[in-house]
Homo-oligomer: A and B are copies of this chain.
Amino acid sequence: MSSSLAHRKAVKKIRFIDIEGNALSNTLVHVKLVNHQFLFGCGSFDSLPATSEADMGQSNVNHDMKMPEKSFFEDRVNKWLEVFNFGTLPFYWGRFEPKEGEILTDSRMRAAKMLQKNHVKVKGHPLCWHTACADWLMDYDNATILQKQLDRIYRDVTAFRGVIDIWDVINEVVIMPVYDRYDNAITRICKELGRVRLVKEVFDAAKSANPDATLLINDFNLSESYRILIDGCLNAGVPITSIGIQTHQHQGYMGREKLEDILERFSVFGLPLHFTENTLISGDLMPKDIVDLNDYQVDEWPSTPEGEERQKKEWSEMYHILFEHPLVEAVTGWDFADGAWLGAPSGLIRKDNTIKPVYHELKRLIHEEWNTEGDLRTDENGNVILNGFKGEYEITLKGRMVNFTLDGNGDSKDDVIEITV
């Protein structure tokens, strides 16, 4: 194991005793990491049609494919669950509440609870954004729009508390007040309030609804503008807990140097970094001269064998770089299956649910290369030293299984944790 991953691991001394308090000495113990503390994530929009037929087709932003059977999505979700422990569910206001008061809480709750049951942490995305916003909001004046935005945040964060405790609170603020492709309620209020004030308002609303939640600001613009925005927000007392970084690399993988530059520049705040939306494609690259990725419209964007090999190599390098960085806490691939946003070959599986090389590679990294599993033997005092990746463990000895969380920083094996078996 590379020493550059030391921050991902912990060392604990565990003492096993029986119910009478006697040490279980010289006993074989099997330890197995069953869930990483690190959040290995992916968009989980397919869990909506897989858990409900009520709003199929509502789940994805640019999804215009003919809807297949529910079993097709169940197959997808099963493949998803074999790899990831962190899923993003859609809360785009315009789709979540297509008419004022008609809110699709139930569908999201079913999907979120299914994921939670499978030991997946869920993130809601996003609570405030100028794109995919509710058109009906534009019937109101700015003061009312703001109030409804804050009410919506309070309502949804409250409703999902305990099920969804991670939120992309606000999305793409750098561009928000200058976004001019179409009129929308959020650009209107951002123009009036300014960026920092709006960010503060929406974060305060989310925080009041769930004080312990992980609350992200999220952007694709990774220029100095975003750093200055975060700097201003933090100095203005905005309760940002983590910084969201998007890398939709339809125009080609940015490479190690650029990625490390981003990591260095956004580490200065000392906050956890979430790579929230990451795309690497397995087909032809989008031309470099496209500025708004949404402008690239193609009839077919096939995945190719060479592209799939490239995609696997790039994702693997990116995973290594991000997992090695101490402040990164989450990495989320955006599309699980090809053909979602922009119709791109951006998934880990193909449109027909067949598995691409990158799927095998990420699964191998998460569940083999960075796994901890093995047999230990207790000493005469019933002690073992567990040195492994942080996360949830199953520990089996004498035919019995106990759950154990390995956490903390570095080497703390002088503290003994007693487990009664």
Instruction: Give the complex CA separation of A194 and B271 in angstroms.
Output: 14
A223 at the A/B interface (Cβ < 8 Å)?
A: yes
* Copies held by the complex: 2
- B268 near A231 with CB under 8 A, answer no
Residue of B nearest to A226 (CB): B228
Query: What separation, in Å, do the CA atoms of A307 and B234 have in the docked complex?
Result: 48
Please give the distance in Å from A345's CB to the nearest CB on chain B: 33
A235 at the B interface (CB under 8 A)? yes
- A195 CB–B CB distance under 8 Å: yes
Residues of B within 8 Å of A195, CB to CB, are 228, 231
Q: Which residues of B lie under 8 Å from residue A225 when comparing CB positions?
A: 223-225, 228
Q: Closest approach, in angstroms, between the C-beta of A260 and any C-beta of chain B? A: 15
Say yes or no for A200: interface residue by CB 8 A criterion.
yes
Within 8 A of B (CB), among A187-235: 191, 194-197, 200, 223-225, 228-229, 231-235
| Contact with A235, one of B174, B191, B197, B228 (Cβ below 8 angstroms) | B197
User: A236 on the interface (CB 8 Å rule)?
Assistant: yes
A178 at interface by CB-CB < 8 Å: yes
Number of interface residues of A (CB under 8 A): 22
Q: Is the CB of A174 within 8 A of B232?
A: no
Contact flags A171-182 to B (C-beta < 8 A → 1, else 0): 000100010000
Q: Which residues of B contact A224 (CB under 8 A)?
A: 174, 178, 225
A363 to B111: give the CA distance in the assembly, Å. 73
| B178 with A231: CB separation less than 8 A | no
**Inter-chain contact A194/B235, CB cutoff 8 Å:** yes
Q: A327–B120 Cα gap in the complex (Å)?
A: 54
Question: What is the distance, in angstroms, from A222's C-beta to the closest C-beta of chain B?
Answer: 13
Q: How far is the CA of A200 from the CA of B232 in the complex (A)?
A: 11
Check A235 against B196 for contact (C-beta < 8 Å): yes
- The complex places the Cα of A228 from the Cα of B223 at a distance, in Å, of 12
CB contacts (< 8 Å) of A194 on chain B: these are: 231, 234-235, 268-269
Instruction: Give, as a whole number of angstroms, the nearest-CB distance from A239 to chain B.
Output: 14
Contacts of A268 in B (CB 8 A): 191, 194
A237 vs B196: C-alpha distance when bound (angstroms): 12
Assembled-state Cα–Cα distance A225/B269 (Å): 18
Docked CA distance A188–B240 (Å): 25
Cα(A235)–Cα(B237), bound, Å: 9
In angstroms, Cα B228 to Cα A234, docked, is 13
Partner of A228, one of B191, B232, B237, B269: B232
A173 to B: closest C-beta gap in Å: 9
CB distance from A196 to the nearest CB of B (A): 4
Query: Which chain A residues (240-283) contact chain B, with CB distance < 8 Å?
Result: 268-269
The chain A residues found within 8 Å of chain B, CB to CB, are 174, 178, 191, 194-197, 200, 223-225, 228-229, 231-237, 268-269
Q: Pick 24 A–B contacts, CB within 8 A, sort by A.
A: A191-B268, A194-B235, A194-B268, A195-B231, A196-B228, A196-B231, A196-B235, A197-B231, A200-B235, A223-B225, A224-B225, A225-B225, A225-B228, A228-B228, A228-B229, A229-B232, A231-B232, A232-B232, A232-B233, A232-B235, A233-B235, A235-B235, A235-B236, A236-B236
A178-B224, A194-B235, A236-B236 given; 15 more Cβ-contact pairs under 8 Å: A174-B224, A191-B268, A195-B228, A195-B231, A196-B234, A197-B231, A200-B235, A223-B225, A225-B228, A228-B228, A232-B232, A232-B233, A233-B235, A235-B235, A236-B237
